[in-house]
Chain A
Amino acid sequence: DAGVIQSPRHEVTEMGQEVTLRCKPISGHNSLFWYRQTMMRGLELLIYFNNNVPIDDSGMPEDRFSAKMPNASFSTLKIQPSEPRDSAVYFCASTREQNTEAFFGQGTRLTVV
């Protein structure tokens, strides 16, 4: 298996632009997590899905952030409009079933200028 695949690996955009991050979980995994990592705040859980349904989005910082999982093999995290303080590395992770380890993608490094 290719593992969790995220795209793009790097994104540089101007303030105010829309940004879409993509994630393909491991086939057969039924839970998907989006995390944001910064030096100041560490690893923050933004949202997670179970069987394509959002379970907890309390970590989404504000209405500019939205996430979807239209099917079991694809999820997006969208920021509109983007701001410089959104600059971070965004990770996607998936798990197969209860109490098993999560597998992480390589992350998307987002820079908003």
Chain B
Amino acid sequence: GNSVTQMEGPVTLSEEAFLTINCTYTATGYPSLFWYVQYPGEGLQLLLKATKADDKGSNKGFEATYRKETTSFHLEKGSVQVSDSAVYFCALTTFSGYSTLTFGKGTMLLVSP
């Protein structure tokens, strides 16, 4: 079956620090990969995505590259802000007649001024 493993949090950083949140996956077939973000009191929203190997998804200064050889999709940002404090979820979808959707457990990011 499909699974997503991401680093446990919380990750605590100072403003302007570099961020990496690791994500690895196992999947049957050829997955699409996603990062979702959940701000306090809200639902999950898409942050970025990549649908094929070597694609780089990017949004709001965040980036992640689909690495098929290492089955990874690590999230990075060069300079975090206090407003980036949230929970980040790595996820994948596959399709075999119908879509499946698998999430990691989420990583909380806390950014202090």
Interface residues as binary, A85-113 with B (CB distance below 8 Å gives 1, 0 otherwise): 00000010101011111111111000000
Contact of A93 among B31, B42, B101, B105 (CB under 8 A): B101
Bound-state CA distance A31–B93 (Å) is 12
Chain B: interface secondary structure?
A: strand
The answer to whether B101 touches A33, judged by C-beta atoms less than 8 angstroms apart, is yes
Collect the chain A residues with CB atoms within 8 Å of residue B106's CB: 42-43
A103 and chain B: residue at smallest CB distance: B46
CA distance A91 to B31 in the complex (A): 23
Chain B 11-33 near chain A by CB (<8 Å), digits 1 or 0: 00000000000000000000110
Chain A stretch 37-94: residues in CB contact (< 8 A) with chain B = 42-43, 45, 48, 50-51, 55, 91, 93
Contacts of A48 in B (CB 8 A): 100-101
Q: Are B101 and A97 in contact (CB under 8 A)?
A: no
**Which residues of chain B (89-113) have a CB below 8 Å from chain A?**
89, 91, 93-95, 98-103, 105-106
CB–CB B99/A104 < 8 A: no
With both beta carbons as reference points, the residue of chain A lying nearest to B96 in the complex is identified as A98
> With an 8 A cutoff between CB atoms, is B61 at the interface?
no
Query: In the complex the two chains form, is A99's CB within 8 Å of B44's CB?
Result: no
Q: Which residue of B lies closest to A95 (CB)?
A: B99
**Across the interface, which residues of B come within 8 angstroms of A100, CB to CB?**
32, 93, 99
B34 in the interface (beta carbon within 8 A): yes
CA distance A44 to B78 in the complex (A): 31
- Contact at A95–B93, with CB atoms within 8 Å? yes
B42: chain A residues within 8 A (beta carbon): 106-107
Give complex CA distance A43, B49 in Å: 19
The residue from A42, A95, A106, A107 contacting B101, defined by CB atoms under 8 A apart: A95
